[in-house]
Amino acid sequence: MEVVSLVNGCSGNTAGKVIICKAAVAWGPGEPLVIEQVRVDPPQKMEVRVKILFTSICHTDLSAWKGENESQRAYPRIFGHEAVGIVESVGEGVTEVAAGDHVIPLFNGECGVCRCCKNPNTNSCEKLGVDPTKSTMILDGKTRFTTADERRQPIYHFLNTSTFSEFTVLDSACVVKIDSEAPIKKMTLLSCGLSTGVGAAWNTANVEAGSTVAIFGLGAVGLAVAEGARARGASKIIGVDVNPQKSIIGKQLGITDFINPRDSDKPVHEKIMEITDGGVDYSFECVGNLEVLRTAFLSTYIGYGTTIMLGIHTSPKLLPLHPMELFSGRKVVASVFGGFKGRTQLPHFAKQCMEGVVKLDEFITHELPFDKINDAFQLLMDGKSLRCLLQI
């Protein structure tokens, strides 16, 4: 098969050829990513090859990179699932996108034909839903990435997307076309963090005007919940975070009250009950910590309060609830990708973002060249960034 190297910036027609380009490869849990040349195969049947323009790092990349979930350990691997790009070429049978289209990668795909995709009450997809244990393409169980040296070692995929690469191959169920007029850089946020948070408030909780909300963990995901709740007219939005700096950015994004659990010995749920006369209508867990999940549960109003879980928890762990506690009427539900069906509903959300329904700029706290990806990981680990955009 013909090979074209883009390492020195040469371009031209690359369709049907193997592309050699740069990617950030993870060789082992917690090891710094290595920017190196990789081979990217052409897209096969119902696949799409995308040139990534911008990518950013979400906490899920961080957890996977650290190897916190033992079932995810496949190396070498290309992480990354929050990005925006341009279709370079499409495989046999792909009709919904074409070369040149601006697209958002979807870690939670939408095949459109499975029973879940046909059900309006879920955004799960039985074929290409989010699955951190999956590390190859579903068509043939193989990777489309290999090392550029003569060993041609397979490099595994991550979350259907693997965006820490100049080019990546995705199933066509895992890309959605967006308006070419949309501000491409900011659209990166819609690929995970912003959609996950705003959608959890709008689609999963369906926050009503005047309702009260508590958000645990004010990273990009939690703050996107705050934006979603603010846009819906929530009367009180309580932010809880152990990092005191988060109160400053939180106040810019709809947080009305801030609680740092480390500031007093009083349990956080008791404080929330005081502020809200008995508990919030909705609480959101955006940390991935079981104790926090329990506090979020106890912070809602008895009888109908709902806790929405967004944080990713390491395995093997079980819910910290006694089954009888659910007879109180409090509910716990999880939200994946904000409940959005990616291909059918994200274009409308992108339009709402362009119209200014939710703020975008505040979420992009840093920008770095792709080569500095390890610095971007550090910024997130240190709690200094919400999203650091990497230009590839």
Q: Which stretch binds Zn ion (CB under 5 A): 53-61, 93-101, 275-283, 358-366?
A: 53-61
Cβ-based neighbour number of residue 63 at 10 Å: 18
Q: How far is the CB of 389 from Zn ion (least distance, A)?
A: 14
Does position 83 interact with Zn ion (CB under 5 A)? The reply is no
Report the alpha-carbon distance of residue 134 to residue 337 in Å, rounded: 17
Residues engaged in binding ligand APR (CB under 6 A): 58-60, 63, 193, 196, 216-222, 240-243, 246, 261, 286-289, 292, 310-312, 380, 383
The tokens describing 308, both together, are 């929405």
117 binds, among Zn ion, ligand APR, none (CB under 5 to 8 A by kind): Zn ion
Residue 32 is inside which H or E element, if any?
Answer: none
Residue written as token pair 């879940």: 116
Apex 336 CA angle, 60 and 96, nearest 5: 100
Rank residues 117 and 389 by Cβ distance to Zn ion and give the closer one. 117
Strand partners, 34: 25
Does position 234 interact with Zn ion (CB under 5 A)? The reply is no
194 binds, among Zn ion, ligand APR, none (CB under 5 to 8 A by kind): none
Q: How far is the CB of 61 from Zn ion (least distance, A)?
A: 7
| b/e 12-31 (16+ beta carbons within 10 angstroms → b) | eebeebbbbbbbbbbeeeee
The tokens describing 243, both together, are 């990092």
Q: Which amino acid is at 236?
A: K
Q: How far is the CB of 176 from ligand APR (least distance, A)?
A: 19
Q: How far is the CB of 323 from ligand APR (least distance, A)?
A: 25
Phi first, then psi: give them for residue 186, nearest 5 degrees: -70, -25
Rank residues 182 and 192 by Cβ distance to Zn ion and give the closer one. 192
Phi first, then psi: give them for residue 250, nearest 5 degrees: -60, -40
Does position 117 interact with Zn ion (CB under 5 A)? The reply is yes
Does position 192 interact with Zn ion (CB under 5 A)? The reply is yes
Q: How far is the CB of 135 from ligand APR (least distance, A)?
A: 18
Q: How far is the CB of 129 from Zn ion (least distance, A)?
A: 7
Closest CA to 88 of 79, 96, 97: 97
Does position 130 interact with Zn ion (CB under 5 A)? The reply is no
Residues contributing to the site for Zn ion (CB under 5 A): 58, 60, 111, 114, 117, 125, 127, 192
